[in-house]
Structure 1
Amino acid sequence: MRRIAIIGCGGSGKTTIGRQLADQIGVPITHLDAVYYDDRWNRMDPDKFAALQEELVAADTWVIDGNYASTLPIRLKRADTVVFLDLPAMTCLWGIAQRGWKYRGGQHDSSGVYDRITWGFIKYVWGYRRDMAPRVRSLIAEYAQHADVRIVTSRRAARKMLTELKAAVH
């Protein structure tokens, strides 16, 4: 467990789980939202974003959290561990609401990740399992056959998986 890709809907817990796993293996976590968007929510050029990820995954050890299906193969090809947080929409929306209250829509501690809750984002979260999850599963099947793939469908299963992965490191 040296190269970990964490994928999932907004509010699924990618950042929380990623931070814990990064601490376990002693590397910083890369939050793709903080890379892709600037502080005014301008997007990075897609080619530059893909090239940056190629550089990130070339390292021997990393933890990267983020969805971005268009560049997911870059991470999946090199990951030895893939965590797909495929949680129900209501669970993710609750996670987003809790995060919003905690950070008041601002930056999450020092991660560089900011909340930006829009109606479009809420619709994306609501339809994620129907629209995006099948694509993510397909990409995992195609590009991560070599990896330890963990598909997590509840907060309880996420806690159990973290315990198992932490034990595997020791």
Structure 2
Amino acid sequence: MKRVMVFGKPGGGKSSLAKYLAAQAGLPLHPLDLIQYRQNGEMMPRDAFLEAHQDVIDGEQWVVDGLGTLETFWRRVDAADTLVYVDLPYPRHYWWVTKRWLVSLWRKPEGWPEGASVWKGTLASWRALKMSPRFWNEALLEKLEEKAAGKRLIHVRSVRELKRLGVSFKG
């Protein structure tokens, strides 16, 4: 496990899991939100993001957390040796997105881009969850399984499975 990709719908605990895996394996962690967005929450120019992303996946070791663009998603699938697909039931994703926003009223979520609005991020996450069945579906899983030949594919479907991976989650 040298190149690990953690991905899935918003609010599934991907960032916590990626942070844990990076620490356990001694690998550098690269949250895509911190590569894709400026500190004020605006998106990086496309070319700058693609270049920064390519620099990361050209590295010998990494844990990358997030989706990014479809183009970069499939590049990471090809470059990774371990794919971790966090695919919890939709109510859990909606609850954890909402909970992150509620907690943000008192403190900024860990790893949240500096200056970025948690409220705007929450709205974007809710919209993404509403649209998710169009992308996060059986056809995607079949394509992932096909592309994962010779790689390790971990499909996490429950909080229990997240906990089995060694991560502590509240709620």
**Shared fold, TM over 0.5:** yes
Q: Determine the C-alpha separation between the residues in 1 that align with 2:13 and 2:32.
A: 14
Question: In structure 2, what is the equivalent of residue 151 of structure 1?
Answer: 155
Give the secondary-structure state (helix, strand or coil) at the position aligned to 2:7. strand
Distance 2:106 2:147 in 1: 35
Question: Which amino acid in structure 1 is aligned with residue 150 of structure 2?
Answer: H
Distance 1:81 1:72, change over 3 A: same
User: How far is the alpha carbon of 1:104 from its aligned partner?
Assistant: 2.6
Q: TM-score, normalised by structure 2?
A: 0.81
Alignment of 1:1-170 (within 5 A): 1-68=1-68, 69-104=70-105, 107-110=108-111, 112=113, 115=118, 116-118=121-123, 120-128=124-132, 130-134=133-137, 136-160=140-164, 162-163=165-166
Gaps spanning 5+ residues in structure 2: where?
A: 167-171
SS at match of 1:38: coil
Pair 9,105 (structure 1): closer, same or farther in 2 beyond 3 Å: farther
| Matched position secondary structure for 2:122 | coil
* 1:14 to 1:146, Cα distance in 2 relative to 1, 3 A: same
Are residues 153 and 14 of structure 1, via their aligned partners in 2, closer, same or farther at CA, if it must alter by over 3 Å? same
SS at match of 2:91: helix
Post-superposition offset of 1:107:
3.9
Shift of residue 127 of structure 1? Answer: 3.5
Measured after TM superposition, the shift of residue 61 of structure 1 is 1.1
Separation (CA, whole Å) in 1 of partners of 2:21 and 2:151: 16
Runs (5+) with no aligned partner, structure 1: 164-170
Q: Superposition RMSD on alpha carbons, in Å?
A: 2.2
* Residues paired across the two proteins, number: 160
Cα distance in 2, alignment partners of residues 18 and 12 from structure 1: 11
